[in-house]
Chains A and B, each alone.
Chain A
Amino acid sequence: MHAYDFVATNSVDRALKLANPDSAFLAGGTTLVDLMKLDVMTPRHVIDINGLDLCGITANHNGLRIGAMARMSDVANHSEVANRYPMLTQALLLSASGQIRNMASVGGNLLQRTRCDYFRDVRTPCNKREPGSGCPAQTGENRNHAILGTSTACVATHPSDLAVALVALGASVRLRGREGVRQVPLDQFYRLPGDTPHLENQLRPGELITEVLVPALSWARRSTYLKIRDRSSYEFALTSVAVALDLRDGTVHNARIAVGGVGARPWRLPAVEDALRQHRPTADHVQAAAARAAEGARPLAHNGFKVTLMQRTITRAVLNLAGRR
């Protein structure tokens, strides 16, 4: 960790004014401080934004608004969120640990960096950390890496569980910078790595996420988040799936499906949603629909199992949600 200067503010305008290309905003610190200790992130200026008034959670007929500085545990413990969007609550409770959830902000969660062990070790090359240096994961240890949306420059996964559920729900983020306020759908917010994996999202320098907006979706009451990993807790997903089903008379009228642990970004699966629509969710049909998740998958030496695992994860979640086995 290198020396840096530190300033705290309780004004959004002042925070935006203080920001510069060598600065970083500090919210819960669960990613930033970790990566600063590893020298992966080396900001010269750290701007503490914990005093900003961006914490509220409101649920009404338009949907859900979550302040970017709300803690993960605030959202996870919110009864209206649990009633209306069970997949959000579950995604949060399956993330990290209780201590981390008490600190980590929702905005920070969406901006957390990948857990690729090459990204986190400055003694190894990494195109995301040091553009042009190379990607050892292509041929090295890649059991935990992505199979969808990857490039020859980067095969890292996006680590957030919350983002997977939010993408399934069609959520947006509200961004504020010196030039004003704008709103971006979350599935457009994240970039694919291409040959610029260091550019991870649409956030402009000095811009802040101020709010997350989740549209109303009545049938999201029937939703779930299933996360598969080697150990039962405190691990990032090998695969995960956020599913919402609009089930009428035993037929899937509509569906939302996004997967995590497999994509360079949270990965919505419209082809699987299409295949489920207007069908009874029998085991055979759900498996056939889930098979479509693998379209375009590019498995590597150690993560080929994720193709099957992703399909099975979707199948298991959909069948359980539909009340079938």
Chain B
Amino acid sequence: MAFAEAVLRIEDLRTYFHTDAGVVRAVNGVTLSVAEGETLAIVGESGSGKSVTGLTIMRLLARTPGRVEGGSIHFRARNGKVVNLLDLSEDRMAELRGRDIAMIFQDPMSSLNPVFSVGDQIAESIRIHHRATRQEARTRAIDLLRQVGITDPESRVDAYPHQLSGGMRQRVMIAIALACDPKLLIADEPTTALDVTIQAQIIALLKALQRERNMAMIFVTHDLKLVEEIADQVAVMYASQIVEQGPTTEILARPRHPYTRALLDCTPHGARHRRLSPIPGSLPNPIAPPQGCRFHPRCRFAKEKCVQTDPLLEPVSADHVTRCIRWDEIEL
């Protein structure tokens, strides 16, 4: 993808956590980019580094043992200037955060303040970044609530988070995130805690709002079937690294990494009493991941050379890469 149209471009990002037990290289050399109007899904299981990637972009690791130890995160700001988010002062980052880049999380209840009405919380987000009177901000908050599909926004604007259902709270979070018309939205498992009929509504809403605003979106999820619904591009993460990346339709139809194939195979999709194919073994120890290819202990195609070589991302086609040295000699 040409850099000209990228809203965000991450290169060789490394985020490490220094714990008593040792160093966890949670994000270990991640490179990716996302363009205007495009959705990139980062998919992976627990501990793959997908969420830490999102938090690193937002620079929300300050109060954790997490440190960025390398790489760059170039972001095209509203004025067209490209900045490396990792070089910005905390004040400058705070200006960008919420205005140019917004984030929503799995659990809206822990992101909303229980003692303020939802209207106050949306209005606060508007008034931090824009000059607006109290009344203007309230009018805008009601308008945003309507846009995210909340019925009777004139009275709901005064509701407190506990008075709303889980689905409605997530709609409020989306309203807050979109209050300043960000160029990039990072959504970390935004529908995982929701019922499936509500999930379908929220996904439809996110897609519609993104299309309207031509916003870029990074969608972090563990659910490959959700990736199929929402993403143009997908990056598959395993043990802190991207193992495969490319257009969603191509990756899901013709995966070129054994882990992606295995992930697709173990996902149940229909047919009674069909035998599922689990991935043998367990997720790797984050402090001491396996030598060579991190997936080799669980990979049915692994050979001696997979243990000895640290695989690099190799191009399969113009926009499809895989971190497997055997990709062109195996049948997936």
Tell whether A pairs with B: no
User: CB within 8 Å of A: which residues of B?
Assistant: none
